[in-house]
Amino acid sequence: MSARIIVGISGGVDSSVAALRLVQSGESVAGLFMQNWADDGSGECRAEQDRRDAVAVCGKLGIPFHFRDFSAEYWQGVFEHFLAEYAAGRTPNPDVLCNREVKFKHFLDAARELGAEKIATGHYARVQHEGGRWRLLRGLDRNKDQSYFLHQLGQAQLSATLFPIGDLDKADLRRIAREAGLPTHAKKDSTGICFIGERDFREFLGRYLPARPGEMRDPQGRRIGEHSGVFYFTLGQREGLNIGGVRGRAQAPWYVVGKDVANNVLYVDQDTLSPFLMSRRLWSEPAHWVAGAPPAARFECTAQTRYRQQDEPCAVEVADDGTLAVRFEREQRAVTPGQSLVLYDGDQCLGGAVIARTDAPLESRIAEQAA
- In sequence order, the β-bridge partners of residue 351 are 289, 343
Handedness of CA 88, 92, 96, 99 (dihedral sign): positive
Element (H, E) at 244: none
| Catalytic choice (45, 58, 194, 301) | 194
Residue 98: active-site member: yes
Residue 45: active-site member: no
Provide the phi-psi class of 168: left if phi over 0, else alpha when psi is between -120 and 50, else beta.
beta
Give the HSE-up count for residue 96: Cα atoms under 13 Å, Cβ half-sphere.
23
Work out the widest C-alpha separation in the chain, in whole angstroms: 75
| Catalytic choice (98, 301, 314, 349) | 98
Residue closest to 6 by CA, chosen among 23, 29, 26:
29
DSSP line for 181-237: T-TTTTPPPP-S-TTTTTS-HHHHHHTTS----EEEE-TTS-EEEEES-GGG--TT-
Element (H, E) at 255: strand 255-260
3-state secondary structure of 128: strand
Residues 320/323/327/328 CA torsion (nearest 10 deg): 140
Helical packing angle, 170-179 and 13-24, nearest 10°: 70
Active site residue ranges: 98, 194
